[in-house]
Structure 1
Amino acid sequence: MSASSLPKPDFARNMTLIGHSDQGGRPDGVQLMVNKGFAYIGHMFSKGFSVVDVRDPRNPVGVDYIAAPPNTWNIHLQTYGDLLLVINAKDMFASAEFQDEKAYYTGQIGKKVGTASGVVEKNWTAGMAVYDISTPGKPRKIGFMPVKGGGIHRIWYTGGRYAYASALLDGFTDYIFITIDMSDPANPVEAGRYWLPGMNEAAGEVPTSDRRAGLHHPTVSGDTAYCAWRDAGLVILDVKDATNPKLKVHRNWSPPFKGGTHNCLMLPDRDLLVVADESVLDNYEDGFKPIWLFDMREPSNPVSISTFPEPAEANYKSKGGHFGPHNIYENRPDGLVSSKYIFATLQNAGIRVFDISNQYRPEEVGAFVPPEPATLMDRRPNRKKVIQNCDVYVDKEGLVYANDYNGGLYILEFKG
């Protein structure tokens, strides 16, 4: 694709678009990973997942698409080495009860879909699929781990024996933490689990709140899992024994803040933890959602020391759609690992890069806001045709890959 035919950004600073793909005609994306020159992209509305050849980042080409089972989404996935792990769960945004997305982000999801009681009739596939990607760009399914319930939401896997995930299981009010034994990739099995008190309805536990106290997903550094537990904040687990995860710390700043904690990134060389709260409502209805920086020098007592600045060059609060954090790049060991630069998606405000050299005063040093998407893949009612950047991945060479609910795959050079 020539530079003249690339989408023209609404705003850019220290970031240059070098490649763009409609992902084989399915421009909606959620999580993306880059492995051996190929991008693997989970879809929100097109179902399934796609593979895009990005070996020439200026000319990305869609090369494969794997459909999801009926009534199932594959929005999140992980690649590492020769393995691709893909979540299978109830397609929430296709369900009548979640056409108003507020319903998805409020209340206990297990009660809303009926899995908390365990009596709902299931017409979706729940679990985790395993693909061999030793031939780059050509996923070959080799295994599947079923779960009883709504399914798996998001996984953390960087090789080794264990994967770590959030799962909506029968009997629980929302997503809980599970560990998965990957010693035989063709036959993964659940190894351990942890939930916050009150979540195990089947055991007679009573929730302490009617909010979305469910795990979005963990990231793992050493023997510690850093868990973004939506409206219940930050949960830190000891996973030295993966079969028996144990609570180390639980901190919740909601209220007074509005919750939605989405992901955590530990920077062990600096004893810092980055935590993003997701903006989940249109038109800034849920207000300021911070990206927090915590001082972790005393692991038992995380202390918030700063928040990242909001963009100020345009009025994103009234642009439509969501404004504020969705995702941060999680320093994948096969991609860029940086304790200076934090890459984040701010939905209708595009992709941002922050310099945290001074941890007490993070600064924005890069930005790219794509234009209005060519088409609206999101078929839910009352969706505005604006960019909603979702995920970001950074490779070892520093190229930035970002996607959107509607706008396709953007490949960027950061001039930092």
Structure 2
Amino acid sequence: MTATADIMTPDLARNMRLIGHCDQGGRGDGVQIMVENGFAYIGHLFSQGFSIVDVRDAANPKAAGYVAAPANTWNVHLQVADNLLLVIHGKDVFADSAFSDEASYYKAAAGTALGTAAPKQARDWDAGLAVYDISVPGQPRRIGFMPVSGGIHRIWYTGGRWAYVSALLDGFSDFIFMTVDMSDPARPREAGRYWLPGMNLAAGEKPGWEPNRKFGLHHAIVDGDTAWGAWRDAGLVVMNVADRAKPELVVHRNWSPPFQGGTHNCLPLADRDLLVVVDEAVLDDFGDGLKNIWIFDIKDKANPVPVASMPVPIDEDYPRKGAHYGPHNIHENRPGTFQSSSIIFSTWQNAGVRVYDIANPRQPKEVGALVPPAPRSMADRRPGKKAIIQSCDIFVDRAGLAYVTDYNAGLYIMEFNG
């Protein structure tokens, strides 16, 4: 835990305040975060493995453990429910010099970039879904693993029988949607899959998009029998999963071009027939242009209609600040966490955290902001990287405390006072 005046003095705070900070045991890089029974579980982007942080005292969070990943493997994303921790295993992309320039990964199909689209080749990373028992809080004990040939990127799991993953399979151009049967957590198994036509190269399908377009699933949020898939440069893919063994397409909508693509989250607000959709900024120095957080009307699931986008931060010239500028993630209203269909928490990387009120979905407004100070050290040692805040993932607990990770700056705990 490092908590000095500069670390706890934000560059900007409006209707928000910092509560605590933790350097995660010297591994300041974090991607997805889950908080359960007083402990945070944080996937790393550069340090491989995942960390555990004791957050029972939000003002004094303490590093409480670290689980190393196998060689050349990252655990960037994870999920917690039913005393289980699910952790992805995939290739540590940014440890590979071939991807030191992020565009070389984000402007190519994953299967092509990682070599999994071709006939089976030797690989030096671990690939699949690991399952841990966390019935003793803060002490994960691995109990199961499901191999997935090319790896998994992200998971949606809120307990019960079904998990949903974005899976990279041999012979496919990029990540596809897969349902996973968790009825025996020690032996998770694939139940069904869906992909966009053109992705199954091994079956002779031909992509109908340019090679530099990333037509692959980031992840899907599942509400009832509907999966809302964020398919990166392919936009929104809505699937019916009433039969988990046979997901079916409801509708595919893509707004790229003319907009920039990179769709990352699709959060349904079922009580209001709304969908919040995030397009992720992935390149430094505004290299992929303006990305938006959209609001869609989904009264008819087969005809989602965009009605507005969130206002962009205007309190500084963020496009010229450096590093990544633009949306990355939102709080996803998981069961047992902060629930709202009108207040949206989001991360904007070099523009920190932004909170929006969408009571009027056609006129969303920013009602809170917090930009943490620059990181004191860098976990990201790729050439040209600068010490600039990069707020990454956000998890908001039932009490309203927001837990925010960064690519370098450790874990920040903050509060919205709007």
TM over 0.5: yes
Change (3 A) 1:6 1:376: closer
Give the whole-Å Cα distance in 2 for the aligned partners of 1:3 and 1:280.
30
AA paired with 2:183?
A: S
Following the alignment from structure 2 to structure 1, what is the Cα–Cα distance between the partners of residues 92 and 6? 35
Q: What is the aligned partner in structure 2 of residue 56 from structure 1?
A: 57
Q: Which residue is equivalent to 2:246? A: 244
What is the rounded CA distance, in whole Å, between the counterparts of 1:316 and 1:196 in structure 2?
35
Aligned to 1:65: 66
Q: Following TM superposition, by how much is the alpha carbon of 1:2 offset from its aligned partner in structure 2, in angstroms?
A: 6.8
Equivalent position of 2:19 in the other structure: 18
Q: Deviations over 1:34-58 (max 9, x none)?
A: 0111000000111100000001101
User: Does structure 2 conserve the Cα–Cα contact (< 8 Å) formed by 1:114 and 1:120?
Assistant: yes
SS of alignment partner, residue 26 of structure 2: coil
Q: How many residues align?
A: 415
1:165-219 Cα offsets, whole Å, 9 max, x none, are 1011100000000010000000000110000000000000011112100000000
In structure 2, do the counterparts of structure 1 residues 337 and 118 end up closer, same or farther at CA, with 3 Å as the change threshold?
farther
1:283 counterpart SS class: coil
C-alpha separation between the residues in 2 aligned to 1:334 and 1:121? 42
- Is the contact made by 2:216 and 2:234 (CA closer than 8 Å) also made in structure 1? yes
| Shift, 1:81, TM fit | 2.3
**Contact 2:3–2:22, Cα closer than 8 Å, also in 1:** no
Q: How far 1:119 sits from its partner (Å)?
A: 3.0
Give distance in 2, aligned partners of 1:368 and 1:219: 26
Secondary structure of the residue aligned to 2:314 is coil
1:7 deviates by 2.3
Q: Please say if residues 113 and 120 of structure 1, whose CA atoms lie closer than 8 Å, have aligned partners that are also in contact.
A: no
**What is residue 106 of structure 1 aligned with on the other side?**
107
SS in 1 for 2:412: strand
SS at match of 2:323: coil
- Matched residue SS, 2:404: strand
2:304 is the counterpart of 1:306: no
Distance 1:28 1:123 in 2: 23
Q: Which runs of 5+ in 2 are unaligned?
A: none
- d(CA) in 2 for partners of 1:389, 1:311: 14
- After TM superposition, the structure 1 = structure 2 runs for residues 4-403 of structure 1, keeping only pairs within 5 Å, are 4=5, 6-149=7-150, 151-209=151-209, 210=211, 211-403=213-405
SS in 2 for 1:284: coil
Letter in 2 for 1:34: V
- TM-score after normalising by structure 1: 0.98
Check whether the contact 1:38–1:54 (CA below 8 A) recurs between aligned residues: yes
Distance 1:3 1:405, change over 3 A: closer
Q: CA deviation at 1:285?
A: 2.1
Partners in 1 of 2:121 and 2:352 — Cα distance? Answer: 38
SS at match of 1:214: coil
The answer as to whether partners of 1:3 and 1:18 remain within 8 angstroms in 2 is no
CA distance in 2, matches of 1:227, 1:202: 23
2:6, 2:373 within 8 Å by CA — same for their partners in 1?
no
CA RMSD of aligned residues (A): 1.0
CA contact (8 A) 2:88 2:128 kept: yes
Give CA deviations for 1:348-384 in whole Å, capped at 9, x if unaligned.
0001100001100110011110111000110111112
The ranges of structure 1 where at least 4 consecutive aligned residues each deviate by more than 6 angstroms after the TM superposition are none
Deviates more, 1:380-389 or 1:224-233: 380-389
SS, match of residue 202 in structure 1:
helix
Shift of 1:120: 2.3
> Quick one: distance in 2 between partners of 1:367 and 1:126?
37
Contact 1:80 1:334 in 2 (8 A): no
Distance 1:326 1:2 in 2: 26
Q: After superposition, what is the alpha-carbon deviation per residue over 1:137-166, rounded to whole angstroms, capped at 9, x for unaligned?
A: 1000000001112x0000000011110010
> Percent same amino acid among aligned pairs?
62
Amino acid at match of 1:342: I
Give the gaps of 5 or more residues in structure 1. Answer: none
CA deviation vs aligned residue, 1:222-274 (integer Å, no higher than 9, x gap): 10000000000000000111110000010000000010000110000000000
d(CA) in 1 for partners of 2:6 and 2:140? 31
**Are the counterparts in 2 of residues 6 and 19 from structure 1 also a CA contact under 8 Å?**
no
1:117 and 1:287 map into 2 onto residues whose CA distance is: 32
Q: Distance in 1 between matches of 2:76 and 2:377?
A: 19
- Pairwise CA distance, 1:118: 2.8
SS at match of 2:384: coil
Q: 2: distance between equivalents of 1:185 and 1:152?
A: 17
Q: Distance in 1 between matches of 2:407 and 2:368?
A: 21
Contact 1:6 1:17 in 2 (8 A): no
AA aligned opposite 2:180: I
Offset at residue 96 of structure 1 (A): 2.0
Distance 1:120 1:5, change over 3 A: same
Residue 24 of structure 1: SS of its match in structure 2? helix
